[in-house]
Amino acid sequence: AALRESFVQKAHKQNQRVVNLQPQASFKVAILGAAGGIGQPLALLVKMSPLVSALHLYDIANVKGVAADLSHCNTPSQVLDFTGNSELADSLKGVDVVVIPAGVPRKPGMTRDDLFNINASIVKTLIEAVADNCPDAFIHIISNPVNSTVPIAAEVLRQKGVYDPKKLFGVTTLDVVRANTFVAQKKNLKLIDVDVPVIGGHAGITILPLLSKTKPSVSFTDEEVQELTVRIQNAGTEVVEAKAGAGSATLSMAYAAARFVESSLRALDGDGDVYECAYVQSELTELPYFASRIKLGRKGLEAIISSDLQGLTEYEEKALEALKPELKSSIEKGVAFAQKQA
Ligand code: NAI
């Protein structure tokens, strides 16, 4: 018995060292679509954040079990579950950051735009509830096609009279995560040091990694630029094909989304040095929405980093011009959908 006691005590002490039981801040985060392929691992990663005091998990089904399971992790945040439309409003009250991975993912052969018909309506409904219940929250849109769902969200918020362009973000972090990984592998660099800005949008050729702006500074041959750019643009499809009908990226997406959540919480907490890429309302180009590096602050988007677009290579200039028509039409499709439904 004495042996067992000392083992238990030792384990308990170790556990206290590993897990910080004291919250460092008390932000509330809601995940809409929390029982899904992205939602579950994202909820787990957010549950590990010392900046979160409450985690609200909403889905149309299966969320009770996810919440019960997660609630046993001895990290600071309290986990609450909300199921179905009647509990949607409550899931959003008092929330600082809302993350939306609700909707259907791609199957092999599908483009992100093929998801429009289903996901546009889902995003519209969820954003209406966000507008009514937590209009001041940071809103992170993951549901595809992001190039269209962000304009839809903006229109819905505008119709409700609560649109703050500084607080609406299309999550493109996964494109940056992929670019960093692939460049580090190709150039044998330490992963932790590599940072590649990715601009444009979040589908096919609208995803434009600015390899010439990679930090630390590295040089690429023309072939390497071509190969890396295409791989980063098609990385989502690589996963869709490997999963062969079972969905699209979920684990790497959850990792990327958790990074964007953590960055947002750090900014809300007063950290003055938070930069991420995101798809936002923008005047960087003639398009009304555009992904680029941004600085985050307490009130959301604090600055768009325009210097990334100066001194582009000829390849990048051409790719930038080439992506504009597709991005423009995806934006217009989103705006038209939201205006027709109004
Ligand atoms: P999934 O099908 O595994 O999960 C989606 C979840 O949304 C399900 O739990 C479902 O019940 C829920 N849902 C459906 N309608 C809802 C509604 N009206 N309200 C609340 N929840 C609802 O799909 P997965 O793999 O999690 O993907 C979700 C979305 O994320 C897809 O649209 C996918 O294309 C997108 N995605 C975006 C990426 C990005 O980089 N922005 C990367 C990967 C996926």
Q: Can you tell me which atom of ligand 1 is nearest the CA of 171? A: 41
Backbone dihedral angles phi then psi of residue 108, each to the nearest 5 degrees? -50, 140
- Pairing status of strand 138-141 against strand 78-83: unpaired
Q: How far is the CA of 39 from the centre of ligand 1 (A)?
A: 7
Q: What is the arithmetic mean of pLDDT over 53-78?
A: 97
Q: Is 178 helix (H, G, I), strand (E, B) or coil?
A: helix
Whether residue 56 lies in the annotated active site: no
Within the chain, strands assigned E span 27-32, 52-59, 78-83, 97-100, 138-141, 168-170, 198-200, 207-209, 274-281, 289-297, 300-304
pLDDT value, residue 331: 98
Spell out which residues line ligand 1, taking CB within 6 angstroms: 32-33, 35-39, 59-61, 101-106, 115, 119, 122, 125-126, 142-144, 146, 171, 174, 202, 247-250, 253
Q: Can you tell me which atom of ligand 1 is nearest the CA of 247? A: 25
Backbone dihedral angles phi then psi of residue 4, each to the nearest 5 degrees? -65, -40
pLDDT value, residue 12: 53
Predicted structure pTM score = 0.94
Q: How far is the CA of 310 from the centre of ligand 1 (A)?
A: 36
Residue type, 34: A
Residue 272 has pLDDT above 50, yes or no: yes
> Cβ distance 45 to 258 under 8 Å?
yes
Q: How far is the CA of 38 from the centre of ligand 1 (A)?
A: 7
CB-based burial of residue 25 (10 Å sphere; 0-12 exposed, 13-18 middle, 19+ buried)? middle
- The two three-digit tokens of residue 240, written as one number: 């869709």
Write down the ipTM of this complex: 0.99
